[in-house]
């Protein structure tokens, strides 16, 4: 019975608005991170320099482009995990819960629940 339900859920996946919000916030974050690379480190305020140096984005007075690109690469999947964790904790019927999961676009409900605990 679970296999049948899971198959129906996978075929009828219709994302809720929060799934789109994850994509929008992720792309906004990536845009912000990439626009930082266009600025010179000298243009930043001292407070911004300290914050970015502490995060490892500025190294030896230059942008650490590898780190910025890696942060950008993992931004959307990380936001998706946060979204899914919140909605898994809220709970509810499986078909409603599955529509609110960002990773539901790619994985079955059983796989997601196994990853979340």
pLDDT for 26-62, tens place per residue?
A: 999 999 988 888 888 888 888 988 888 888 888 888 8
Better-predicted residue by pLDDT, 110 or 72: 72
Q: What is the pTM of this model?
A: 0.70
pLDDT exceeds cutoff 70 at 11: no
Please provide the average confidence, as pLDDT, over all residues in the chain. 81
DSSP letter for each residue of the chain? -HHHHHHHHHHT----HHHHHHHHHHHHHHHHHHHHHHS-GGGS-HHHHHHHHHTTSEETTEE-HHHHHHHHHHHHHHHHHHHHHHHHHH---HHHHHHT-GGGGTS-HHHHHHHH-
Banded pLDDT at 116 (limits 50, 70, 90) = low
């Amino acid at each position: 019975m679970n296999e049948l339900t899971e198959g129906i859920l996978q075929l009828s996946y219709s994302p809720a608005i929060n799934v789109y919000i994850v994509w929008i916030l992720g792309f906004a974050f990536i845009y912000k991170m990439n626009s930082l690379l266009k600025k010179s480190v000298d243009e930043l305020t001292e407070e911004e320099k300290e914050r970015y140096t502490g995060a490892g984005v500025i190294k030896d007075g230059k942008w650490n482009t590898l780190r910025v690109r890696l942060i950008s690469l993992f931004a959307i999947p990380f936001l998706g995990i946060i979204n899914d964790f919140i909605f898994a904790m809220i709970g509810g019927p499986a078909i409603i819960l599955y529509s609110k999961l960002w990773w539901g676009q790619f994985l079955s409900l059983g796989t997601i629940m196994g990853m979340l605990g």
